[in-house]
Structure 1
Amino acid sequence: MINRLRESSQSLTFRIAALLALALLPIGLISVATTFQLLSQADRKAETNLLALTSEAAAPEEAHIRTGIGAANMLAAMVPRLRRSNWDCAEPLGDFVRDSQAFSFAGYVSAEGTILCASEGQGTDVSDRRIYKTMAADPQTRITVSPDALVSQTSVVMVTVPVRRNGRFDGYAAVSLPHGQLFRPLDQLSEDRPLDLITYNAEAEVLTSSRGLDDVERHLPANYELSDLLYAQDGAFIDETRAGFLRVFAVVPIVPGQVFALGSWEHRRNDFIEGLSITSSMLFPVAMWLVCLAVAFFAVQRMVIRPTRNLRARMLQFMRSRRITEPRHEASTPRELREMEETWMRLAENVLHDEAELYDTIHQRTVLLKEVHHRVKNNLQLIISILNMKVRKARGAEVKDALADIRQRVMGIARVHQELYETSTAERVQAGELLRAIVGQTVRTALDDSSAVNFVEEYDDIVVYPDQAVPLSLAVTELLTNALKNLDAPGNEKPTLSIRLTRDETKGARVELCNSLNPDGPHEQEEARSSGLGMALVTAFAHQMEGFAESEATPEQYCAILRFPIADFDDTKMPGELALA
């Protein structure tokens, strides 16, 4: 049991977990609890202070609005008397407005929308104004804002009270409070933390704003509409403004159910709570972070990073020089890393052993393959020599031509064999490179002066398997030999010989070999196409490639065309030498 505990204590997981748990548990608990408590208290205190300041800042507006409501109610009660006096009220209402200094207008609007009695503007038609239409549709006491009052031509807050006669709507009494009289400077309330104040009515219409009505939208809460803030009692919350600034908001009813005040100020957490500031409370997270950093650096640096870097350096040395260096374990190296290094050393030794065997096998296979190529070349050369002897001893012209034809084909096979294994890899053959070498050598052998022929070559970049490269080369050699035999041109023109290797639209390849003809000469190639051995061989080679051969002949030109599909390469397959190993 003791030995098992000792072994577990040496593991990397146990050491880091133990050190971090020991260092962070008490500091983390104290820091989280203290910081959470301080931040919560700071928010609650800020909300409470803002509620008090909002109530204090909105007190003058509340007094003015309540005075306006009282004046409007008084004027509504006087309407029957004013009607009996034939609306002789311009002078007394004008004196009332001038003496109060709180109003810019006072008057009565009839049910038809005409100002029958007012401090000024008597007889004016207001039936097209929004406040008249609203009162006519739903008569009740309202407090609204009018940025362009019809009579006073100023921005005012209007208090309207309906007037009823025999239970029916008979117009409304209205008084206007100029915006300039509603606000007093708010800097005296909170100099270090500026306060913004907005008042609005039950229809969520902004009445006044300490920043002015033009820019009021940017200072409203982003996640609340004013219609959501029609609180019956005081309330506070924290939210971003629509301009993206975090602020503390407080809602205070000025006239319950009618007018509300929304105060806000910057969200800060630097208030002192029982002698302890938020800044000093942040020492706990800082201390926790420093301890975490020190413990993590010591644990990871000593027990993980240094041994891992040493192991990486040894791996890089092995990769570059195939040398295995013995590890130097320190006392603090965890058991898992020691086991990892031992496993890597065994792996490196196995890799070296397998590589040595693989290289030896590849070398043997390469030597064997070269020997096979050499023997094939010698055997073909021996066959050519025997045919040369038979040609020289033959007496009949027909026999000599037949033997010479066979010798030419064997020489073509030998040439293909040589070029195939000198210009390409064992698994992939560049068809254009191979054909270019074979065609060039064949033309140089057959023609004494190659400049006497217009020779055209065009090869696309096409890669094929050797199984296709061999019959392709033999077929092209046969076609080229036949073309050189019958190459001709009318008059003194230079004959033309062209060979093209191109891709077609069906993921295949197309070989076209054309030679010019003399229209007045014999057409031997047409006869060879139908009954000759050359075309029979070409057709057989085309079938080996899963393709077909065809020809196109005109009096001026003969073309042999070979079409075959290009086999797809599987990159997951192992090269031939490695597969044999």
Structure 2
Amino acid sequence: MIRTFRERTRSLTFRIAGLLAIALLPVGLISVITTYQLLERADRDLAKTLLALTSDAAAEQEAAIRTATGVAKSLVSLLPVLRDAGYECEEPLGALLRDSPELSFIGYINREGIVECGSSAKGMDLSDRPLHQEFVENPGPRVKFAIRGSVSDASIIVVSLPVIMDGDYDGYIVASLPHRSLTTPQAPADVAERPLNLITFNQDGEVLTVSSNAGDVSENLPADRSLRALAGGSEAAFIARNAEGDRRVFALVPIVPGQVYALGSWEYRRNTLNNGLSFGTSMLFPLLMWLVSLAVAFYAVQRMVIKPTRNLRARMLQFMRSRRLVEPRFDGSLPTEIRDMEETWMRLAENILHDEAALYDTIHQRTVLLKEVHHRVKNNLQLIVSILGMKIRKARTPAIKAALSDIQQRVMSIARVHQNLYETSTAERVRAGELLEAIVEQMVKSAQTGDHTDFELESHFDDCEVYPDQAVPLSLAVSELVTNALKHLGTPEGEKRPSLSVRLECKAGGDKGAIFVENSKGPKALDEDDVSTGLGEQLVRAFVSQMEAKVEREETDTCYRVRIDFPIQSFDANIVPSDHSHPV
């Protein structure tokens, strides 16, 4: 009974479940979620409160701007009557100003910048003023701030409306508001409790008014949003950081939709909830519980899962690289599941080593046998070549000697192929570049001995691997082409000696390859008396057909070119080459 209990207590499931149960993680999560919901609710209540405060704080500015807009609209409708009366409008507009103490000036300015009708300053030329130029260039309802008014010589808020006569722009109506009357200081009690800073701006993002306690404007603007970007939006509240990095609550309220907006800002603090409950106190307990749970879970997983798994992985990597098994150190604190996993891995690795050793032995035996076959075939072909040589020496007519010599050359080509196959290849793969380079080198050395003249050789062979079934017809085709090229080699006019070019082009891992054989032609070949029987061309076509390739020939006055395009079959990446080193 006690032994069974001990075995169970060593299991990974039992230990992790016990540690997580002690940590009381679910209770901590519930506390965090509940506190977070309270914080979110407090933020929403704060946003609603700030929207209401901002709307209330901007009520005076809203009333003044709406009054100016209404007066301007009235003057637009009365302008035809005043025009018929000769623009005698100082007295009626002056009376209108007395009834609207919020305004300091109202008048009509034509498109040339002349005050044709106004409560004062009739006939004044405003054409050089920047605001006039802006109103003419971009007609439309606007609310702008002027640090120095043209008539009142004080800072004002300008409300303008365009005047359209008979479908054409004919000027604009201006209603001015004294700037100081729109900046009302907050009550000292409100400022001390939690100051609300108010900024009004127009549709172009230009600041119109700032509450007297706002201080630096940048401190009361969001750093990640411009006033121009906020213009055009609907009523909204959000939390953002100002230019100094302090978090504040911002409320956007349209005063005149599309023209004037109010932006209120309030210092953002998550200090207390209702009934004096502290945010810090409410978050401390679940936070500590969460940290303890994380620490316990990390220790459990690190000590009983991650560390043993990393050790096992390191031994696996070492086995993969060097095929060397490392016995694990005994650790009685390891869970039963981890110990069983290590024992299973050791048995699996031992079986892999045994199977690989048997596989390598089989491959090695097959490779040795195949190379021995190529060697014996090459020896037999060399014997045939020797017999043909004896027959050639005993032949009495040149025709018989030529025929036997042609046969001898072809048998020698086949012998070279088998010789180089067992010298440059494995049982599964043949390095085509090395094979063809060795064959061409041997043939050129044979051609440059005896009575043949010297010639220039250009050769290049890319590295690519093919199956033996492709290597044999490929090498025989190249041997036949090189033999024919050497047979018909000549020196072109203007050249000092003949030339021969042999190239193998293929990309590593590609599925296509190409052989190029080119020899120079001249009026005088190396063997003028040789008469072509067409046998070489027939053999090349047969080898090309066996490889499922295609051959192209091109002949000019100075050279003869042959190109063979052949496919390269892909190799199975899981097949281990037979010349792979045996495991230690």
539, 542, 545: which one aligns with 1:540: 542
Does the residue aligned with 2:374 lie in a helix, a strand or coil? helix
Specify the alignment match of 2:475 in structure 1: 473
In the alignment, the residues of structure 1 paired with residue 26 and residue 566 of structure 2 have an alpha-carbon distance, to the nearest angstrom, of 72
519, 522, 547: which one aligns with 1:514: 519
Aligned ranges for residues 318-467 of structure 1 at < 5 Å?
318-328=319-329, 330-394=331-395, 398-448=399-449, 452-461=453-462, 463=464, 464-467=466-469
The alignment yields a C-alpha RMSD, in angstroms, of: 5.8
The residue identity in structure 2 corresponding to 1:357 is: A
Aligned ranges for residues 11-90 of structure 1 at < 5 Å?
11-13=11-13, 15-23=15-23, 24-37=25-38, 40-41=41-42, 44=45, 48=49
Superposed CA deviations along residues 178-214 of structure 1, whole A, max 9, x for unmatched, are 111332445954369653214699xx99974336999
CA contact 1:488–1:517 (8 Å) conserved in 2: yes
CA contact 1:329–1:338 (8 Å) conserved in 2: no
Deviation at 1:455, TM superposition (A): 1.6
CA contact 1:187–1:194 (8 Å) conserved in 2: no
CA contact 1:156–1:176 (8 Å) conserved in 2: yes
Deviation at 1:444, TM superposition (A): 1.9
Deviation at 1:351, TM superposition (A): 0.7
In the alignment, the residues of structure 1 paired with residue 523 and residue 62 of structure 2 have an alpha-carbon distance, to the nearest angstrom, of 117
Specify the alignment match of 2:210 in structure 1: 209
Deviation at 1:422, TM superposition (A): 1.8
Deviation at 1:362, TM superposition (A): 1.3
Specify the alignment match of 1:566 in structure 2: 567
The residue identity in structure 1 corresponding to 2:182 is: L
Specify the alignment match of 2:295 in structure 1: 294
Specify the alignment match of 1:77 in structure 2: none
Specify the alignment match of 2:266 in structure 1: 265
Deviation at 1:122, TM superposition (A): 6.9
Deviation at 1:457, TM superposition (A): 1.9
In the alignment, the residues of structure 2 paired with residue 226 and residue 551 of structure 1 have an alpha-carbon distance, to the nearest angstrom, of 77
In the alignment, the residues of structure 2 paired with residue 537 and residue 260 of structure 1 have an alpha-carbon distance, to the nearest angstrom, of 93
346-355 vs 304-313, greater mean Cα deviation = 304-313
Is 1:306 aligned to residue 310 of structure 2? no
Specify the alignment match of 2:582 in structure 1: none
The residue identity in structure 1 corresponding to 2:501 is: I
Aligned ranges for residues 191-270 of structure 1 at < 5 Å?
194-198=195-199, 208-210=209-211, 228-229=234-235, 237-240=237-240, 247-249=248-250, 263-270=264-271
Structure 2 vs 1, CA of residues 191 and 562 (structure 1 numbering), >3 Å: closer, same or farther? same
The residue identity in structure 1 corresponding to 2:104 is: F
192-201 vs 331-340, greater mean Cα deviation = 192-201
The residue identity in structure 1 corresponding to 2:294 is: L
CA contact 2:242–2:248 (8 Å) conserved in 1: no
CA contact 1:158–1:177 (8 Å) conserved in 2: yes
The residue identity in structure 1 corresponding to 2:514 is: A
In the alignment, the residues of structure 2 paired with residue 563 and residue 205 of structure 1 have an alpha-carbon distance, to the nearest angstrom, of 78
Deviation at 1:459, TM superposition (A): 3.0
Aligned ranges for residues 178-189 of structure 1 at < 5 Å?
178-186=178-186, 188=188, 189=190
Deviation at 1:365, TM superposition (A): 0.9
Structure 2 vs 1, CA of residues 45 and 443 (structure 1 numbering), >3 Å: closer, same or farther? closer
Structure 2 vs 1, CA of residues 312 and 222 (structure 1 numbering), >3 Å: closer, same or farther? farther
Superposed CA deviations along residues 344-402 of structure 1, whole A, max 9, x for unmatched, are 22321221121111111112112212221221122122223333344445555554444
Does the residue aligned with 1:181 lie in a helix, a strand or coil? helix
Task: Report the TM-score when normalising by structure 2.
Answer: 0.67
Specify the alignment match of 2:503 in structure 1: 501
Deviation at 1:5, TM superposition (A): 9.7
Structure 2 unaligned segments of length 5 or more: list them.
73-87, 109-113, 133-141, 161-173, 580-584
Does the residue aligned with 1:301 lie in a helix, a strand or coil? helix
Structure 2 vs 1, CA of residues 107 and 302 (structure 1 numbering), >3 Å: closer, same or farther? closer
CA contact 2:54–2:262 (8 Å) conserved in 1: no
CA contact 1:103–1:175 (8 Å) conserved in 2: no
CA contact 1:453–1:497 (8 Å) conserved in 2: no
In the alignment, the residues of structure 2 paired with residue 447 and residue 252 of structure 1 have an alpha-carbon distance, to the nearest angstrom, of 99
CA contact 2:428–2:578 (8 Å) conserved in 1: no
Superposed CA deviations along residues 238-275 of structure 1, whole A, max 9, x for unmatched, are 445898986435689999xxx99763213221347544
376-385 vs 314-323, greater mean Cα deviation = 314-323
Specify the alignment match of 1:79 in structure 2: none
Structure 2 vs 1, CA of residues 496 and 28 (structure 1 numbering), >3 Å: closer, same or farther? same
In the alignment, the residues of structure 2 paired with residue 494 and residue 64 of structure 1 have an alpha-carbon distance, to the nearest angstrom, of 105
In the alignment, the residues of structure 2 paired with residue 88 and residue 544 of structure 1 have an alpha-carbon distance, to the nearest angstrom, of 111
The residue identity in structure 1 corresponding to 2:314 is: A
Does the residue aligned with 1:339 lie in a helix, a strand or coil? helix
Deviation at 1:515, TM superposition (A): 4.5
Structure 2 vs 1, CA of residues 2 and 33 (structure 1 numbering), >3 Å: closer, same or farther? farther
Specify the alignment match of 1:105 in structure 2: 104
CA contact 1:249–1:265 (8 Å) conserved in 2: yes
Deviation at 1:302, TM superposition (A): 1.8
Deviation at 1:295, TM superposition (A): 0.6
Structure 2 vs 1, CA of residues 186 and 421 (structure 1 numbering), >3 Å: closer, same or farther? farther
Specify the alignment match of 1:136 in structure 2: none
Structure 2 vs 1, CA of residues 240 and 317 (structure 1 numbering), >3 Å: closer, same or farther? closer
Structure 2 vs 1, CA of residues 317 and 227 (structure 1 numbering), >3 Å: closer, same or farther? closer
Structure 2 vs 1, CA of residues 333 and 489 (structure 1 numbering), >3 Å: closer, same or farther? closer
CA contact 1:144–1:157 (8 Å) conserved in 2: yes
Structure 2 vs 1, CA of residues 196 and 512 (structure 1 numbering), >3 Å: closer, same or farther? same
In the alignment, the residues of structure 2 paired with residue 62 and residue 516 of structure 1 have an alpha-carbon distance, to the nearest angstrom, of 101
CA contact 2:492–2:520 (8 Å) conserved in 1: no
Specify the alignment match of 2:138 in structure 1: none
The residue identity in structure 1 corresponding to 2:415 is: A
Structure 2 vs 1, CA of residues 252 and 462 (structure 1 numbering), >3 Å: closer, same or farther? closer
Does the residue aligned with 1:565 lie in a helix, a strand or coil? strand
Structure 2 vs 1, CA of residues 354 and 490 (structure 1 numbering), >3 Å: closer, same or farther? closer
Structure 2 vs 1, CA of residues 271 and 223 (structure 1 numbering), >3 Å: closer, same or farther? farther
Deviation at 1:413, TM superposition (A): 1.8
CA contact 1:115–1:121 (8 Å) conserved in 2: no
Deviation at 1:59, TM superposition (A): 8.6
Superposed CA deviations along residues 140-181 of structure 1, whole A, max 9, x for unmatched, are xxx987747664254446899xxxxxxxxxxxxx99651113
In the alignment, the residues of structure 2 paired with residue 548 and residue 65 of structure 1 have an alpha-carbon distance, to the nearest angstrom, of 89
392-401 vs 375-384, greater mean Cα deviation = 392-401
In the alignment, the residues of structure 1 paired with residue 216 and residue 358 of structure 2 have an alpha-carbon distance, to the nearest angstrom, of 89
In the alignment, the residues of structure 2 paired with residue 17 and residue 67 of structure 1 have an alpha-carbon distance, to the nearest angstrom, of 72
Structure 2 vs 1, CA of residues 433 and 515 (structure 1 numbering), >3 Å: closer, same or farther? farther
Does the residue aligned with 2:191 lie in a helix, a strand or coil? coil
Structure 2 vs 1, CA of residues 149 and 468 (structure 1 numbering), >3 Å: closer, same or farther? same
The residue identity in structure 1 corresponding to 2:320 is: M
Does the residue aligned with 2:285 lie in a helix, a strand or coil? helix
